[in-house]
């Protein structure tokens, strides 16, 4: 039975599509993460808009490419401001070329003066001048709902943020963010202390909140045991946990997680619910990750959408 305003998928896939001309748009709230869970709205004007400000990963597993795939997998309209171009694959980063700060601002202007986003994710920001320009753009256009992933070093060990720009990231961007999503190493860099366990993660979340963010989630992807992340909003700590999946193919996990948070915020979920939904999404994307390339393969952004099987 089709839900009101929806018709069965004409390709006979295990998903539901909106009836032509329907004004209803929703991502399925009843579906478990293991189910095919996206309902697409193809009518005009009601799609939520989400922007990523980040670097390009030529290999498609992280950065802008991962973010846009994640947005599509959530049924939101994705847009991008590219800060830096990386020549990158599953084995590593071959080179990095930064976009000029003026061009970063111009991309922001183009978007904010026409396609104002419902949420913004920030990833690789590379250097101090770009960081300052992004902060200016966020202030000039009064941007809210910012999810800041303070990307510093790739899994393959390349600096994606110049070490001398960490202070600028702290000073300029954290206070403009709704939530900051550091991994263990990034949280450690931000507070100047190595993070080794849950108690350190809680301490780091508190200190990063003091830099001006409204909330912080310290990701425990690089610990052992369950994949446990610590969320703090100044009032309460939440431990958000999933099973740890035994795979080497985890390229782009942080990018994908933060983009999924932004997509869920745009869809209207509150922050805690957005994080829980993003956690379910990244867990599935890792569980179904792709053994492609010769190194650390990417997560599977479309694991929850049934595509025609041939």
Ligand X SMILES: Nc1ncnc2c1ncn2[C@@H]1O[C@H](COP(=O)(O)OP(=O)(O)O)[C@@H](O)[C@H]1O
Ligand Y SMILES: Cc1ncc(COP(=O)(O)OP(=O)(O)O)c(N)n1
Contact between 245 and ligand X by CB under 6 A: the answer reads yes
Contact between 222 and ligand X by CB under 6 A: the answer reads yes
Contact between 155 and ligand Y by CB under 6 A: the answer reads yes
Beta strands in the chain, from DSSP E residues, in sequence order:
6-8, 16-18, 49-57, 77-88, 93-98, 119-122, 146-148, 179-180, 216-218, 227-232, 237-242
43 is catalytic: no
* The binder of ligand Y chosen from 37, 52, 90, 154 (CB under 6 A): 154
- DSSP letter at 298 equals B
Which residue do the tokens 């190595």 mark? 194
Q: Which residues contact 19 (CB under 8 A, 6 or more apart)?
A: 2, 5, 6, 7
Provide the pairing of β-strand 227-232 with 237-242.
antiparallel
Region binding ligand Y by CB under 6 A among candidate stretches 56-64, 208-216, 226-234, 261-269: 56-64
Nearer to ligand Y, 48 or 219 (CB): 219
**Distance in Å, CB of 65 to ligand Y, minimum:** 8
Of the candidates 48, 55, 170, 255, the residue annotated as catalytic is 255
**Distance in Å, CB of 280 to ligand Y, minimum:** 17
Nearer to ligand Y, 181 or 304 (CB): 181
Query: Reduced to 3 states, what is the DSSP secondary structure of residue 143?
Result: coil
**Distance in Å, CB of 167 to ligand Y, minimum:** 20
Contact between 279 and ligand X by CB under 6 A: the answer reads yes
Query: Reduced to 3 states, what is the DSSP secondary structure of residue 86?
Result: strand
Of the candidates 69, 219, 283, 299, the residue annotated as catalytic is 219
252 is catalytic: yes
């Amino acid at each position: 039975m089709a839900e009101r305003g929806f018709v069965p998928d004409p390709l006979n896939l295990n998903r539901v599509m909106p009836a032509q001309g329907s004004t209803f748009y929703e991502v399925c709230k009843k579906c478990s993460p293991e189910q095919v869970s996206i309902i697409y709205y193809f009518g005009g004007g009601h799609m939520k808009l989400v922007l990523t400000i980040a670097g390009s990963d030529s290999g498609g597993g992280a950065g802008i490419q991962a973010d846009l795939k994640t947005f599509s997998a959530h049924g939101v309209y994705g847009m991008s401001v590219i800060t830096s171009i990386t020549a990158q694959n599953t084995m590593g980063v071959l080179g990095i070329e930064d976009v000029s700060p003026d061009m970063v601002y111009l991309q922001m202007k183009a978007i904010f003066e026409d396609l104002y986003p419902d949420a913004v994710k920030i990833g690789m920001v590379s250097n101090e001048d770009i960081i300052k320009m992004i902060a200016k753009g966020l202030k000039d256009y009064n941007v809210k709902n910012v999810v800041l992933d303070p990307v510093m070093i790739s899994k393959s060990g390349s600096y994606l943020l110049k070490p001398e720009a960490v202070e600028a990231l702290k000073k300029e961007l954290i206070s403009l963010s709704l939530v900051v999503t550091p991994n263990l190493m990034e949280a450690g860099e931000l507070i100047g202390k190595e993070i080794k366990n849950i108690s350190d993660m809680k301490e780091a979340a508190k200190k990063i909140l003091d830099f001006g963010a409204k909330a912080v989630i310290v990701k425990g992807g690089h610990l052992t045991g369950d994949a446990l992340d610590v969320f703090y909003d100044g009032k309460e700590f939440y431990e958000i946990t999933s099973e740890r999946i035994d795979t080497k193919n985890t390229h782009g996990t942080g990018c994908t997680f933060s983009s999924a948070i932004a997509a869920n915020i745009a869809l209207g979920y509150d922050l805690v619910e957005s994080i829980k939904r993003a956690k379910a999404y990244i867990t599935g994307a890792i569980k179904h990750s792709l053994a492609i390339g010769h190194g650390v393969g990417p997560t599977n952004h479309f694991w929850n959408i049934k595509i025609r099987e041939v």
